[in-house]
Chain A
Amino acid sequence: MTLELGKLTGQVRSMGEDAAARRRQAADLAALARRWLAQYADQGPHLCHPARAVHAAIPTAEPLDAVQPLPAIPERFTVAAADGSQIQPDPHGAALYYLVNVGSLVYRHGSGQAPLAHTEPTLGYAEADLYEDGMLVAGNLLDVRRDLAEITRLADLCAAEPSGPTVAMVDGTLLLWVLEERSQEWKQARVMAYLDQLQRIRESGAAVAAFISRPRRAEVTRLLHLASVEGNANRAMEEPNPLEHLPDRAVFGSLPPGARSALFVSPSSINHGYYTPLGHTIHFCYLNLAAEEGDPVIARVELPAWVVQDPAQLALVHAVVVSQARITGDYPYALARADELAFISAAEREAFEEMVATSLLRAGVISAPSPKAHYKSLTRRGRRRHRL
C-alpha cells in the first residue's frame, strides 16, 4: 500500500479540529455580514461604481437585503437541462482524440409524461479538431468546447419546444470561462459563439438559468466590506476584509424556505466586456431551496438581464428551480439526470478505448499506449493491497 494512512492520523485529526474552529468563526462572521447587509441595504446606488473596481457583486435596484418569497409554482412548465463531460486527449494513449458527451433531459412538469432523455457524444480526432492556435485541445480549450456544446444543445431544445413556460438550465455558470492567456480574438470568437446560443434561447421565448450548488463565491461579502468603508474602493483594497473567506451563501442562510435574495450583477470582466453590450448581462441571486424551516440549502442562480427584466420570467425561474430542487431535496432533478446522462464511467471509457484500439487495428494501424501508460496500467490495476 502506497498511501500510509498511519502517517496521516495526526494531520487528519488536526484538520477536523481546524474545521470545527473555522465553523464557529464563520458563524460570528456571518452574523456580522448580516448586520452589514441590513445596515447598508439602501446603499446600492452609491456602491455600483466602486463595486466593479474591487470585483464585488454589483447592486441592482433591489435593496441589498431584499427577500423575495417563493412565487406560485405553475401547474405546467418545461425544464430543459443539459450537462457535459469529456475524455481529455491522452498523449500516452493508443491514439490522440477527445470525446465530449452532452446529456440532456426535457422534463414537462404536470404533463404526466416521461421526460425526454438524450445523449450526444462527439469525437474529435482530425488535426483540425485537435489543435487550436497550434495548441492541443485539452484543459480549458476543451472545457470551452464542452460548454458551447451544452448551450447549443439547450438552444436546440428550446427552439424545438412548443410555446409555453420553459426554463433552460445548466449546471455552473452562464459566464464562459476562458483563460486570460488566450488572444483577444480567440476569446471574443468563443464568447460570441456562446452568446449566439443565449440569443437563440431568448428568441425561443424560454428563460435560461445556471445553477450552482454549494457556491463558494464571495462577491456579496466583498460588497459588504466595501460598504463598511463608505464605498471607498481604495480603502476596500488596502484594509483587511474580515469577511474575506466567508462565502456569500453564509450571509443568505437566513433566507426563509423557498425565498431568494436580492439580485446582483456579476463583476466578471467578461460580463461587462461581452455580455452587457448584447443585452445578456449576467445577474445572480441566492435561493434557499429548503422546504421547511431548519437547515437552509443555499444555491446560487445566474440569469441574463432579459430574464431579470421580465417579472414573469424571473418568477418562473425562481419557482422552477425551487420546485425541481425539492424533488431530490437540494439539486434540480433535470440537472441531476442530465449529469447522469453525460457522465462517462470508467467502464464505459475502457470499453471505448477498446473500440478505438480495434478500429485502429482494422484500419491497419498498429498502435499501443506509451511505455508510461503501459506501466501505469500494470501497477495501478493489479496492485496488491490489503483489503480496507
Chain B
Amino acid sequence: MTNSGIRVGRVLRAGTRGFAIGCAVMRPDIPAFGSFVRAAGLTPDSAIYGLIYDVTVEDDLFVRQFVSADPPDEVVLDQRENRQVPIEVSVLAVGCGDGERVRHCLPAQPPVTLDWLYQCSDQEVRAFTTRFDYFRLVLESREVPADELLTASLRAAAAARLESERDSFLVAGGRELARLLSGDPVRLEGILHRLRNP
C-alpha cells in the first residue's frame, strides 16, 4: 500500500479497536464523521482501515477568553491558523489490508504513534465496501454512535460510486442491515430512516 492520499493527521494514541489522531487545521470535509481513513500497518504494503466517529476541537484557557468577547477577525484567524490548538479525531478500526486483499476485521497490531492517517480515495472506499462485513464491527462497538456512523459511512461509500450505482449500493447495504438486525426491528427502522432522510 503506497502512502498516498490526503493526510488527515498523525496518530496520537492507538489500540487494536481504534486510534486517536491529532491534526491542526480542519479543511472542508476533512476530517469528517463517517469517512473512511487508512493508516500504514507495520509490515510493508499493509494498511489499517477505519471510520472517523468523532472530531473534537480541544480548547484551552486562552481561547476561552475570547468566546464571549466578540474578538476581531484577526484574532479568530490567529487562533484557527497559527495556534496549535489540537483537533482530535477518533477512529474505529474496521479492517486491514496486506496489499492484495482487504479484510473486514480488527488489525493484529495498531498503527504506531505519529504515523500518518490518510483519507481513503474513492477507489479505496469502493474496494473496501464491496462487502459489508464491517457492519458487524460497527454495530457491536459500544463506544461509538454506531447507527449514525453506519449511516454516514454508507452515504460516504455511495458518494464514492457513480451516480447510477448509488441506489443499488444503498439497497444492498440496507438488505445486509436487515439480515444483521432481524431481531431488533426498531433499531433497523431507525437506521433505514436515517439512510432515507439524510
State the A residues within 8 Å of B (CB): 105, 107-109, 111-115, 117, 327-329, 333, 336-337, 340
User: A327 with B82: in contact, given A336-B62, A340-B62 (CB under 8 Å)?
Assistant: no
| Shortest beta-carbon distance from A355 to chain B in Å | 16
Contact B62 A327 (CB under 8 A): no
CA distance A109 to B77 in the complex (A): 12
Contact B77 A114 (CB under 8 A): yes
Given A114-B82, A115-B82, do A327 and B71 touch, yes or no (CB 8 Å)? yes
For B78, give the chain A residue with the smallest CB separation: A115
Q: Which residue of A lies closest to B82 (CB)?
A: A117
Contact A112 B73, beta carbon cutoff 8 Å: yes
With both chains docked as a complex, state the minimum distance between the C-beta of B65 and any C-beta of chain A, in angstroms: 6
B73 to chain A: which residues have CB within 8 Å?
112
Q: Is B183 an interface residue (CB 8 A)?
A: no
Contact B74 A112 (CB under 8 A): yes
Nearest Cβ distance between residue A329 and chain B, in whole angstroms?
7
Known: A114-B77, A329-B65, A336-B62. A109 touches B82 (CB 8 A): no
Which residues of B lie under 8 Å from residue A117 when comparing CB positions?
78, 82
Task: Verify B72–A115 contact, CB threshold 8 A.
Answer: no
How many B residues face the partner with a CB closer than 8 A?
A: 15
- Min CB distance B61 to A, Å, is 11
A336: which B residues are within 8 A, CB to CB? 62
Whether the Cβ atoms of A114 and B65 lie closer than 8 Å is no
> B81 in the interface, Cβ–Cβ < 8 Å?
yes
The chain B residues found within 8 Å of chain A, CB to CB, are 62, 65-66, 69, 71-75, 77-78, 80-83
A149 to chain B: closest CB distance in Å?
A: 21
A114 to chain B: closest residue by CB: B77
Q: Is the CB of A114 within 8 A of B81?
A: yes
**Set of chain A residues within 8 Å of B82, measured between Cβ atoms:** 114-115, 117, 337
In whole angstroms, how far apart are the Cα atoms of A313 and B185 in the complex? 74
Pairwise interchain contact A111-B74, C-beta atoms closer than 8 A: yes
CB pair A327–B75 under 8 Å, yes or no, is yes
A117→B71 CA distance, assembly (Å) = 18
What are 24 sample pairs from A and B whose C-beta atoms fall under 8 A apart? A107-B74, A108-B74, A109-B72, A109-B74, A111-B74, A112-B73, A112-B74, A113-B74, A113-B77, A114-B74, A114-B81, A114-B82, A115-B74, A115-B77, A115-B78, A117-B78, A117-B82, A327-B69, A327-B71, A327-B72, A337-B78, A337-B82, A337-B83, A340-B83
Which residues of chain B are near A113, meaning CB under 8 Å? 74, 77
Closest Cβ of chain B to A83, distance in Å, is 15
- When distances are taken between beta carbons in the complex, the residues of chain A under 8 Å from B66 are 327
Whole-angstrom distance between the Cβ of B63 and the nearest chain A Cβ: 11
Output the nearest chain B residue to A111 by Cβ-Cβ distance. B74
Give the shortest distance, in Å, between B174 (CB) and chain A (any CB): 45
Query: How many Å lie between the Cα of A289 and that of B126 in the bound state?
Result: 59
Closest to A323 in B: B72
Give Cα A80–Cα B90 distance, bound, in whole angstroms. 38
Q: Is the CB of A333 within 8 A of B75?
A: yes
> Could you tell me the distance between the alpha carbons of A105 and B71 in the complex, rounded to whole angstroms?
17
List 9 additional contacts besides A112-B73, A114-B82, A115-B74; criterion CB under 8 Å: A105-B78, A112-B77, A113-B74, A114-B81, A115-B82, A327-B72, A328-B65, A329-B65, A336-B62
B18 nearest CB across to chain A (Å): 25
CB distance from A108 to the nearest CB of B (A): 7
In the complex, chain B residues whose CB is within 8 Å of the CB of A114: 74, 77-78, 80-82
Shortest distance between the CB of B42 and any CB in chain A (Å): 23
A248 CB, min distance to chain B CBs, angstroms: 27
Interface hub of B66, B72, B81 (most chain A Cβ within 10 A): B72
- Give the residues in chain A near B83, CB-CB below 8 Å: 337, 340
A109: which B residues are within 8 A, CB to CB? Answer: 72, 74
Within the complex, what minimum Cβ distance (angstroms) separates B32 from chain A? 24
Across chains A and B, which 3 residue pairs bring their CB atoms closest together, nearest first?
A114-B77, A117-B82, A114-B81
Measured CB to CB, the nearest residue on chain B to A329 is B65
User: Which residues from chain A contact B81 at a C-beta distance below 8 Å?
Assistant: 114
> Within the assembled complex, what's the spacing in Å between the Cα atoms of A113 and B77?
7
- Collect the chain B residues with CB atoms within 8 Å of residue A112's CB: 73-74, 77
Q: Which residues of B contact A328 (CB under 8 A)?
A: 65
Query: For residue A105, which residues in chain B have a CB less than 8 angstroms away from its CB?
Result: 78
Which of B62, B69, B75 has the most chain A CB within a 10 Å cutoff? B75
- With a cutoff of 8 Å between Cβ atoms, the chain B residues found around residue A327 in the complex are 66, 69, 71-72, 75
Complexed CA–CA distance, A171 and B112 (Å): 42
B178: min CB distance to chain A, Å: 50
